[in-house]
Amino acid sequence: MDLGSAVPAPRRRIRDRTSQACNRCRATKIRCDNQAPACSPCRAKKLECIRDPRGQSANSSKRALTLEQRLKEMEASLQVLPTQPGLAKSAAENQSKSSPAGINSMPKTSSDVAIEKSVSSEYNHQHIASANPRVSDLKIPCRDQPTRPTLMDSTEVPVLRLTKDKVVERRNTIRDSVSPKRLYMPMFPKAEVILLAEMFFEEINTPLPLFHVASFMALCQGELPVDGCSENPAWWACLNAVVAMAIQLKTMNDAFRTVSDFSWSLFKNAFAVYPELMENEPTILSVQALLSMAMFLSGTTDTKTMSLLLLSAVEMIRALELHKEFVESDLDPVEGEQRRRIFWVAFLLEKTISIHSGSPSALLDGGFEVNFPAKDPPDGLGNVTISGRTGKVNIFLLRIRLGIIESQVEKCLLCVNASANFDQHLQDGLFELRCQLEAWRESLPLEIQPGYNAGLTPAVEPNSLVLIILHCEFYRCIDMIEMALTLSLSQASRNRGAEGLSGRFSETAARCTIRVLRNVKSPTYTELWRLLPYPLWATITLLSRVLETPGDSRAASDVNLIMFFVQFLHKMQKEGCDLGKFVDGCTVLLWIAKIAVREAQNGLQSQTRSQATNSLPRMSSGSDSGTFIQTFSAMLVASNHLRLAQGLIGNVTNLNIEASAIFSNAFQALVKDTNGLYSLGPESLQPRSYGFSS
C-alpha cells in the first residue's frame, strides 16, 4: 500500500507547501509563496530568503524506509562501540607503560579534565564514522554552518575540580574584615594633638560649631588612640580630620605643599574607615566624622568626594531623625543644642555645594523641622566679636537665616528652569524673597551690614574672613534672585519696567563681591581657596556684561575691578600661595575684557581690530576678535556663572566639561589637565597629588 495515497489531499497539500517553504517562513509558521529569488514575506522584511535543498522523491514510502534503515545502522554501531576489543583498557595500558608511576597517582587538574573530554569526544566521533561508512554520510552540523550563537566554545568552558586540600587552602585565605583599616601616618603625641585640637576649636569650630568642645577634649584626654587600631572608627575619623584641618590652618603659605603631605595622610587615615562608618549603625559621632572630612575637602579641589561625604551624612541624619526637633523632656539641653548644630552645619555645607553645582539639595528634599540654635549659647560657639562694639554677633545663626532664603531661591530657580511658561505666582514669590533678603541685611549691626557700594567698613577681628564670606553669600543670593527673575519674566513683563531689576542688581552684586576683597588681609591658603569661588563668579559675570555692552559707561570701571582681582591674586601668589594656573586664567579673562572695551571705544576700526587679534591669547585660526568676542559673549550670557566657576576649580566631571567647552577658545594658551580639560585648580590642592584618587 502506498503510504502517500493514505494521506488526505488537504493535509498532503499543507505538507508539500511546508516542505517547499523557505527557512524563515517555516520557522515563523507563516505561509510562503515560494517566489524566486525571494518570497514575499522575506522581501517585505528585506531579509535573505534561504531554502534548504530537498530531494524531490516520487515515492515517500521509499524515503521513509531509507531513513529507518539508516537509523537501525546507527543504533547498531552505537551498541558495538563499548564492546570493541579493549579500547579503554589498551589505552590505559599504553599510558601506564609510557608514563612514570607517580604521574598517574597525581590528581587531575581542571585543564587535564577538559582536554580528556575533548579528545574522547573527537575519538568517539572518528571511530563511529570509520566503523560504519553510512554514518559518515549523515550531515553533522559543523562550526562553519550558521547555528544558534553560544557564549564560548565548548573547549573553553572551565572545569572546576575542588579537592580537600584546595578547600582548606581557600578557607585559610578568607578574611573576617570586609575592609581592613589602613594607617597612612601614625597619630602625633597626645600633647601635640591636644594643642592642634585647641587651634581647630578656636579658629574653625567657633564660627561653624560641629563639635562640643568639652566632650571632644574629654575624649582626647581619655581615649586618644595612637595608631589605627581604635575600636571606634567614627572617633578615629573625627580625630584625624580635626588634626588635619588644624595643620592646614597653621601652615605658612610658602611651605604649604610640604606640610600638606602630613595633613592629607591624616585625612586618608580618616577616609580609610569610611566603609566601616557606612556598615555600622549610624551614630551622631559618625555624622560628625563625615562632616569633618567634608570640611577638610572644602579647602581643596575635590568637590566630588565632598559631595559623596555630604550625601552619606544626609542619609545618617535622616536615619537618626536629626532633621526633626527632639521633643523628649528628659533630653539634656546641651545634647539637644548639639543635635541642632550638627544638622545646621550639614545644611550650610550641603547648600553651598548644591548652589555652586546647580543641583537640587538632598537635605531639603522632604523638608525639616528643626529649631534654630541658641542666639547666645553658654559656651559661646557661633559668636564672633566685632571690633568697636561691646557685644557679639552670632555669625552661625546669621548664616543659617541667609541659607534658608538661599534654599528657597534655589527651589524657585529650579522651578523656573523646569517650566517653559510664565508663572505670576512664582514671580511674586521671587519678589517676596528679595524683600526677605533686604530685611535680613537690615537686621545685621551697622558695622557689618553688606553695602551696595563698598565692602566692610571697619576691620573685623578675629574671624574677619568669616564675615567677608557672609557678605559674598549675600551677594550670591542677590544674583540668584535676579537670575530667576530674568528667566521667569516674559517679554511683556520686561517691557513694563522689570528689565532693569535683573541686570542692575546682578551686576551690583558682582561688583561688591570683588570690592570686598579689599578687607582681606593675609588669609591662609585653604581659607583663601574657600573664598575664591565668589570673586571668580563675579569676574565671569562682569566679563559677560562687558562683552555684551562694551560701550556702556560702566564697562571701563568693570574692567578695572577685574584688574583689581588679578592684582589681588598676584599679591597672594607672592605670599606663597600656589595660584599660578588661577592667575593665568583670570589674566586671559582680563585681556578679553580690555580688548572688547578698546574696540568699542575705537569704533571697531580695522587697525585696532588687527592689534586686538594679535593681543588675544591664541584664538583659533581664521577668526577675528569681533567674531570671537561675539560668540564668547553669547555663550556666557546663556550660562550659569556659578556653575562655570565651580567647573573651573572643582573636579565634578559634567561641570568641568561644560566650563571647558565655553572657555576652550579663550584658554588655548593654558595647559590642560590629565583629563584633557581646562582647570584653574592648583596642583597643591589636587587630591591626586597626594595619592588620593576620587
Q: Which amino acid is present at 129?
A: A
pLDDT at 632: 77
Q: Is pLDDT of 672 > 60?
A: yes
Query: With bands split at pLDDT 50, 70 and 90, how would you rate the model's confidence at 110?
Result: very low
Query: With bands split at pLDDT 50, 70 and 90, how would you rate the model's confidence at 687?
Result: very high
Q: Cα–Cα distance between 609 and 628 in angstroms, integer? A: 12
Q: Cα–Cα distance between 507 and 549 in angstroms, integer? A: 12
Place of cell 507563516: 30
**For 172-184, what is each residue's pLDDT tens digit?**
777 665 555 678 9
Place of cell 531661591: 409
pLDDT at 208: 94
Q: Is pLDDT of 334 > 60?
A: yes
Q: Cα–Cα distance between 364 and 350 in angstroms, integer? A: 9
Which is more confident, 58 or 274?
A: 274
Q: Following DSSP, what letter does each residue of 340-356 receive, concatenated? A: HHHHHHHHHHHHHHHHH
CA distances from 211 to 12, 215, 334, 400 (A): 91, 8, 12, 17
Question: Per mean pLDDT, which range of 57-61, 117-121, 314-318 is the poorest?
Answer: 117-121
SS3 460: coil
Q: Is pLDDT of 647 > 70?
A: yes
Q: Is pLDDT of 402 > 70?
A: yes
Mean pLDDT of the chain: 79
Question: Per mean pLDDT, which range of 51-65, 118-132, 643-657 is the poorest?
Answer: 118-132
Average pLDDT rounded to a whole number, residues 190-203: 92
In sequence order, what are the beta bridge partners of 279? none
Q: Cα–Cα distance between 77 and 86 in angstroms, integer? A: 16
CA nearest neighbour of 199 among 270, 251, 269, 256: 251
* Domains of the chain, first to last: 1-54 (4.10.240.10), 57-79+117-150 (no CATH), 190-357 (no CATH), 532-694 (no CATH)
Average pLDDT rounded to a whole number, residues 150-168: 60
Q: How many CA atoms lie within 13 A of 430 on its CB side?
A: 29
State the Cα torsion 185-190-191-196 to the nearest 10°.
Answer: 50
pLDDT at 179: 54
pLDDT at 80: 58
Question: Per mean pLDDT, which range of 18-32, 104-118, 311-325, 390-404 is the poorest?
Answer: 104-118
Q: Is pLDDT of 506 > 50?
A: yes
What's the longest Cα–Cα distance across the chain? 125
pLDDT at 160: 58
Q: Residue by residue, what is the 3-state secondary structure of 638-682? A: CCCHHHHHHHHHCCCHHHHHHHHHHCCCCCCCCCCCCCCCCCCCC
**For 444-479, what is each residue's pLDDT tens digit?**
988 888 887 644 444 444 347 899 999 999 999 999
**For 601-620, what is each residue's pLDDT tens digit?**
877 544 444 454 444 444 44
pLDDT at 606: 46
Place of cell 524563515: 24
What burial class does residue 503 get, using C-beta atoms within 10 Å of its C-beta: 0-12 exposed, 13-18 middle, 19+ buried? middle
Q: How many CA atoms lie within 13 A of 359 on its CB side?
A: 13
pLDDT at 70: 85
Q: Is pLDDT of 540 > 90?
A: yes
Which residues lie below 8 Å from residue 616, measured CB to CB, with a gap of 6+?
591, 592, 595, 625, 628
Percentage of the chain modeled with pLDDT above 70: 73
**For 251-286, what is each residue's pLDDT tens digit?**
899 899 989 999 999 999 999 999 999 999 999 999
Q: Is pLDDT of 216 > 70?
A: yes
- If one counts every other C-beta atom within 10 angstroms of the C-beta of residue 138, the result is 12
Helix pair 333-357, 284-297: axis angle to 10 deg: 40
In sequence order, what are the beta bridge partners of 393? 384
- Highest average pLDDT, of 150-154, 188-192, 365-369, 568-572, comes from 568-572
> Assign residue 365 a region: left if phi > 0, alpha if psi is -120 to 50, beta otherwise?
beta
Q: Is pLDDT of 435 > 80?
A: yes
CA distances from 537 to 12, 132, 266 (A): 84, 87, 32
Using omega within 30 degrees of 0 as the cis cutoff, is the peptide bond preceding 37 cis?
A: yes
**Grid coordinates given for 597:** 572695551
Q: Cα–Cα distance between 682 and 585 in angstroms, integer? A: 12
Query: What sections of 358-421 are H helices per DSSP?
Result: 395-418
